[in-house]
Amino acid sequence: MPSAAVLITDSSACIPRPLLRRHDIRVVAIQVVVGGEEFRDGVNLNRRKLYGALERGVAVKSSAPSPLDYLDAIEAVPEDVTPVIVTPAAEFTRMHQNAGLAAELSGRRVTVVDSRSATVGHGLVVLAAAEAGRRSRSVDDVVAAAEDAADRTELVACMESLEHLRQSGRLPAMAIGFANHIGVRPVFRMRQGTAERLGLPRTEESALARVVREWRAGGGPSAERVAVFHAGRPERASRLAALLGGRASFTTEFSAAMAIHTGPGVTGVAWLRAPDLEPDLL
């Protein structure tokens, strides 16, 4: 029987490179096409080039790692180690489905865990599992830690505008144009495989204040780990970290592949609630 686990995730997890190296976390890259050029997120995708392309209206799209991409990652793991794949919530992407298919094709013991979150929230689930792996060589303990963290992960963020939702077709162009004209900065939350709008502040200050308020109400000050993130706005992320009272464990840049959908400027915080706090009671 394999005696230990190795974690596999994707580049949208936004885990800083030092932590990836420390925990030997394997990363499968999301594919991104910018104006006909193909790139791998986290490998050769230049964030500034991507953000510039988005601002100029250049066609940009991303695609989830395929079952074969996950299978390659599985096969790179030594036979005496069990791969544990942690994916974003199945409601947000095909990655969970693709990872599950790869696990079936591999013919070896592979566990696939749904983080029930995305981006940095997803990354916190991976890190919780990695830390369990450092404490115990039991694969079951690693999987249990990931599933427990998935139940306690919170993420709240604000977008710079609604402009980049135009391509999704989910909002009328006229409504987006009006919202941008009056300076709306949507605040949203991800929890348990759902994304919900929390408010439409009119200024950057009020948007950040709403993020901090949600963090406090959601048990942020007593959280096990807190991570601030941003897409090309390090100064705004520093302001948010200061408003959180220095509780951030680290600050990381938003995955460029995810910024395709939100646009540059998204800024937020993800955290793991203390085990004794339930979201319905907050």
* Digitized pLDDT (tens) for each residue of the chain, 282 residues in all: 446 899 999 999 999 999 999 999 999 999 999 988 999 998 898 888 888 888 888 888 899 999 999 999 999 999 999 999 999 999 999 999 999 999 999 999 999 999 999 999 999 999 999 999 999 879 999 999 999 999 999 999 999 866 555 444 443 443 334 344 445 788 999 999 999 989 889 899 999 999 999 999 999 999 999 999 999 899 999 999 999 999 999 999 988 888 888 878 899 999 999 987 666 544
pLDDT at 175: 37
Tell whether pTM > 0.85. yes
pLDDT at 278: 66
| pLDDT tens string 105-144 | 999 999 999 999 999 999 999 999 999 999 987 999 999 9
Whether 102 and 115 map to the same domain: the answer is: yes
CA distances from 65 to 111, 148, 253 (A): 17, 25, 20
Render 82-131 in DSSP notation, one character per residue: EEEEEES-TTT-SHHHHHHHHHHHH-S--EEEE-SS-HHHHHHHHHHHHH
Look up the CATH number of the domain holding residue 65.
3.40.50.10170
Whether 73 and 147 map to the same domain: the answer is: yes
Q: How open is the CA angle 232-255-211, to the nearest 5 degrees?
A: 65
| pLDDT tens string 174-186 | 333 434 444 578 8
Whether 56 and 120 map to the same domain: the answer is: yes
Look up the CATH number of the domain holding residue 157.
3.30.1180.10
Whether 15 and 118 map to the same domain: the answer is: yes
Whether 265 and 206 map to the same domain: the answer is: yes
Provide, for the chain, the percentages of residues in helix, strand and coil under a 3-state DSSP scheme, each rounded to the nearest 5: 45, 25, 35
In the listed set 99, 117, 151, which residue is the last one of a domain according to the structure? 151
Whether 13 and 137 map to the same domain: the answer is: yes
In the listed set 84, 117, 151, which residue is the last one of a domain according to the structure? 151
Whether 17 and 146 map to the same domain: the answer is: yes
pLDDT at 218: 95
Total structural domains within the chain: 2
What's the one-letter identity of residue 74?
A: I
Whether 120 and 38 map to the same domain: the answer is: yes
Whether 107 and 162 map to the same domain: the answer is: no
d(CA 95, CA 90): 7
Residue span of the structural domain in which 142 resides: 4-151
- Residues 2-24 as b/e (b if ≥16 CB within 10 A, e otherwise) read beebbbbbbbbbbbeeebbeebe
Whether 141 and 173 map to the same domain: the answer is: no
Question: What pairs with residue 113 in β-bridges?
Answer: 86
Whether 118 and 175 map to the same domain: the answer is: no
pLDDT at 1: 45
d(CA 44, CA 242): 32
pLDDT at 233: 92
pLDDT at 164: 52
Q: Quick one: how far is CA 105 from the chain centroid?
A: 26
pLDDT at 105: 97
Whether 56 and 172 map to the same domain: the answer is: no
d(CA 202, CA 179): 9
In the listed set 133, 151, 169, which residue is the last one of a domain according to the structure? 151
pLDDT at 49: 86
pLDDT at 2: 46
- Element containing residue 229 per DSSP (H, E): strand 226-230
N-to-C CA span, the chain: 42
